Amino acid sequence: MIDFSRLAKWPSYVAPFNGMLFILLCSSLLFVNSMAYGQLFPKNSGIMPAKPIPIISHVTKPAAHNVKITSPVKGAKVLVDHNLLISGISAGNHNATSINCHVSVIVNGIKPYRLTIAMGPNTPTDYSKWIFILDPSYTHIKAGQNKITAMYFCASNPGALSHYSVNVTGINPSFNNFTGIG
């Protein structure tokens, strides 16, 4: 805390600058850089480091894509009101660090997420490869824009949570510009 009572005891030639000094101090408090620096020293070493070591309080790493939809691809044209095979890859359950992991899919935000079928070669719960069959019992592709999102989740490692989305265009079978599914 700044003790401003000491400003009144300054010599009279400093008095005109008290207001400017106050404004300068307050504005410097408002525009402080959020980066903090600290120095770490071994106990009683007497050694000073050459330059300060930055200490960052909030480190944000971009989320790794632990899941990807491989079919249909982004921008694909798919038939409306038909079953659709959605497939993809993920970090899977094929190593010791990915225990209790799974991949789920949601289409057009219609909840809940639906569990996919693990197709990886290692175990019955190996989601390194997965599929999901979109059928009318859950929802269907509608005419126009549709969003398909896959979610990778590990109960043993919540930090591995990852999402991946593709937008596809639903078209009617009679549509002349149909280029195929996927």
- Domain ranges (residues) in the chain: 4-55, 67-171
Average pLDDT, the chain: 75
Instruction: Tell me the pLDDT tens digit for each residue of 75-126.
Output: 999 999 899 999 999 986 655 555 689 999 999 999 999 999 999 998 888 9
pTM greater than 0.75 (yes/no): no
* CATH no., domain 67-171: 2.60.40.650
* Residue that is written with structure tokens 């989320």 in the block: 63
Name the nearest CA neighbour of 63 among 127, 182, 152, 129. Answer: 152
- What one-character-per-residue DSSP string does 27-59 give? HHHHT--S-EEE----TT-----SSPEEE-S--
Query: 119 exposed, middle or buried (CB, 10 Å; 0-12, 13-18, 19+)?
Result: middle
Instruction: Tell me the pLDDT tens digit for each residue of 57-81.
Output: 444 444 567 999 999 999 999 999 8
